[in-house]
A and B are shown apart, each in its own frame.
Chain A
Amino acid sequence: MDSPDTNAVLARDAGLEFPILSDPDLHTTDAYGLRHLGGGPDGQDIAHSASVLIDRDGIVRWVYVTRNVRVRPPPEVVVAAIDGLPAARGAD
Chain B
Amino acid sequence: MHTGMFDDRATISSSRTRLLAFGGVGLTLLGVVGYFVVALRFGAALPQVRNDAVPNWILIEMGMVLSAFSIAAAGPGRRGLPMALTALNVLVAGAFAGLLYDFSAIPPASGPSLGIAAPSFTLLDQSRRNVSLADFRGKPLLLVFYRGHW
Contact = CB atoms under 8 A, between A and B. Distances in A.
B142 interface: yes
Given A20-B126, A70-B50, A72-B47, A52 B142 contact: yes
B77 interface: no
Q: Is the interface of B mostly helix, strand, loop or mixed?
A: loop
Contacts of A33: 109-112
A67 B110 CA distance: 10
Contact of A78 (B112, B139, B142): B142
A58 B118 contact: yes
A39 to B, nearest CB: 7
Question: Among the interface residues A60, A68, A70, A78, which one has the most CB atoms of the partner chain B within 10 A?
Answer: A70
Contacts of B76: none
Contacts of A47: 145-148
Nearest to A42: B150
Interface residues of A, number: 57
B8 interface: no
20 contacts: A7-B149, A8-B127, A19-B126, A20-B125, A22-B124, A22-B125, A48-B106, A49-B146, A51-B143, A51-B144, A52-B144, A58-B117, A58-B133, A58-B136, A58-B137, A60-B118, A65-B111, A70-B100, A74-B51, A75-B47
Given A41-B150, A78-B142, A60 B110 contact: no
